Amino acid sequence: MIHVILFRNVNILGNYIHIKSMAEIGTNLSKASRLLKNNELVAIPTETVYGLAGNALDPTAIAKIYTTKNRPSFDPLITHVKNITDASTLVHPFPKLAHKLAEQFWPGPLTLLLPKRKHVPDLLTSGLEKMAIRVPDHPITLKLLKQINFPLAAPSANPFGYISPTTSEHVCHQLGEKIPYIIEGGSAQIGLESTIVSIEGKIICIHRLGGLDLEKLQTFGDVIIRNYKGVNPNGPGQLDSHYAPKKKFIIGNLNDLLLKYSNLKVGILSFSKTYSNSNKNIVLSKNGDVNEAAENFFSALRTLDTEDIDLILGEYVPKKGIGKAINDRLKRAAYI
């Protein structure tokens, strides 16, 4: 006799057929809302990358996020709300300078580190006094946030440390066996995670470079960049090794690297120039546009990671605008 058990992949073990379905991809926000209210996880689109969302005020849902991503519990999560008013119910105080930044850049790729209120679970912030919070700039996710009565914790929807997803297909490939629903929202417009800042007096402190240009923040006051080093981060996305492909990734002068590794099958991740003496070359922006490069970065790195090559070689992009954030991701992806 053959017994049929519902699982997510088809696999035959002895007399049992294991069938395991993949996550559904769709735009049914009512279904997504029901799942979230039942402490299930849903992948959501944002302008930066796709996020793995759960109720930010329920420890059960928060714990599911850590487990599903295999994310260490000392790495805090970013919370998404629909507006400044909702943010104010979660944080206190809300400094004037932080409020000005929120008014200017929300919805958008800016995350603020602000003191959390007592009812915000410690698990969300990994026990830290400050929580990371932002308003995403995506119409579908903003509509979803209006349908539920709680904020959403939503780190990138990928296994911890791996390349961030910029399409629903990326999410399905990585986490489709672990979550029930992925909201289709098209390709992420920015393609890099949000910029994370805190306010120290009149100083804007950047804890993670991201989708918001450093120059735009400088119009509001003095800006410094905190170069975090250590095991326990004081905000999300600060670990040295992060956003990394499975294949070895080396950054440097591509001409020199191609000579050094001429005996291997290599893939090239270049900014604007094409290198014909490689097995696979992906150009981030033929026009030399750092914004276009940011939009294509994670998808390109993911593609190279699936190619039949031994090694990925890359180069830094110009240090202007969002280029600084791309270089930050390149460094972390190649960290050894």
Q: Give yes or no for a contact between 223 and 110, defined as CB atoms under 8 angstroms apart.
A: no
The residue among 83, 88, 89, 44 whose CA lies nearest residue 65 is: 44
Cβ burial of 169 (10 Å; 0-12, 13-18, 19+) is middle
Task: Show the DSSP H helices in the chain as ranges.
Answer: 29-37, 59-69, 84-88, 96-105, 139-147, 168-175, 214-218, 254-260, 290-306, 323-333
Q: Output b/e per residue, 4-22; b: 16+ Cβ within 10 A.
A: eeeeeeeeeeeeeeeeeeb
Question: What is the reported pLDDT for 237?
Answer: 58
Question: What is the reported pLDDT for 2?
Answer: 32
Span 213-249, pLDDT tens digits: 999 999 999 999 986 554 455 666 555 556 789 999 9
The residue among 22, 42, 20, 21 whose CA lies nearest residue 31 is: 42
Question: What is the reported pLDDT for 4?
Answer: 30
CATH 3.30.470.10 at 249-333, yes or no? no
Token pair for 216: 């735009």
Cβ burial of 192 (10 Å; 0-12, 13-18, 19+) is buried
Q: Is the pLDDT of residue 86 over 80?
A: yes
Token pair for 7: 């699982």
pTM of the full predicted structure? 0.85
C-alpha triplet 204, 210, 78: angle, nearest 5°? 80
Question: Domain residue spans in the chain?
Answer: 24-225, 249-333
Q: Give yes or no for a contact between 18 and 133, defined as CB atoms under 8 angstroms apart.
A: no
Q: Give yes or no for a contact between 135 and 87, defined as CB atoms under 8 angstroms apart.
A: yes
Q: Give yes or no for a contact between 102 and 112, defined as CB atoms under 8 angstroms apart.
A: yes
Token pair for 278: 């490689």
The residue among 147, 90, 158, 157 whose CA lies nearest residue 124 is: 90
**Average pLDDT of the chain to the nearest whole number:** 90
What's the pLDDT band for 173 if we cut at 50, 70, 90? Answer: very high
Q: DSSP 3-state assignment of 255?
A: helix
Question: What is the reported pLDDT for 309?
Answer: 96
What's the pLDDT band for 3 if we cut at 50, 70, 90? Answer: very low
Q: Is the pLDDT of residue 5 over 50?
A: no
Name the residue with tokens 């990671």. Answer: 305
Q: DSSP 3-state assignment of 279?
A: coil
Q: State how beta strands 16-20 and 3-7 pair.
A: parallel
Q: Give yes or no for a contact between 99 and 114, defined as CB atoms under 8 angstroms apart.
A: no
DSSP-derived letter for residue 330 is H
Question: What is the reported pLDDT for 13?
Answer: 47
Looking at the domain that runs over 24-225, which CATH code has it been given?
3.90.870.10
User: In the predicted model, what is the mean pLDDT of residues 92-106?
Assistant: 98
